[in-house]
Amino acid sequence: MTLELPEAQTIIDNSDCLHGEAEVLAALDRMAEAMTADLQYANPIVYTVMNGGLIVSGHLLPRLRFPLEVSYMHATRYRKETSGGMLDWKVKPQESMKGRVVVVVDDILDEGHTLAAILEFCREQGAKEVRVAVLVDKKHDRKAVGVTADYVGLEVEDRFLFGCGMDYQGYWRNTLAIYAVKGM
């Protein structure tokens, strides 16, 4: 269902800004610093999880000052809904992961079921090591077993979030600030 423009604007106007642009950019700087320290000699392949990881990767990758390869994958459970269903691979990675350090970049680690399936896939493809970088780690106790992020920009309360890659019914991925819908 596509939102009407006035409704899409009302969503952001009536939401709580949890982290402004300056805080998000500072978090990306911290992530890049940690990733550079850990991965500068690893020759990693960095996969962006579409669509959520697009904004995060677009700001994170230029901060990584070491050789790396970049690609993408597209797996989702949400399909513009507010709750997830079965995993839907839209684009599987095409590059060989065999013997490589793989870094998966996404917008958020919420419950982690999509991420768990992606990590399993990478390991099955022979990745030597798989690391996870997310801008947001949502604080709650409903995470998929064994799913954690190696690099986290911000920890955020358990609310319905959007901005910086996260969407509200397909909208507002493009803002660098992170918002929470009132009442959700």
Q: Per-domain residue ranges for the chain?
A: 5-181
Rounded CA-CA distance 147/109 in Å is: 9
Rounded CA-CA distance 149/172 in Å is: 24
Angle at 74 between CA 51 and CA 48, to 5 degrees: 65
Which are the contacts of 133, defined by CB distance < 8 A and separation ≥ 6?
31, 35, 56, 60, 103, 104, 105, 106, 149, 150, 151, 152
Rounded CA-CA distance 14/20 in Å is: 15
What is the predicted pLDDT for the residue at 19? 98
Do 174 and 55 touch, CB atoms closer than 8 A?
Answer: yes
Mean pLDDT of the chain: 91
Q: pTM of the full predicted structure?
A: 0.90
Query: Is the pLDDT reported for residue 65 higher than 70?
Result: yes
The domain made up of 5-181 has a fold known as Rossmann fold (3.40.50)
Query: Is the pLDDT reported for residue 76 higher than 80?
Result: no
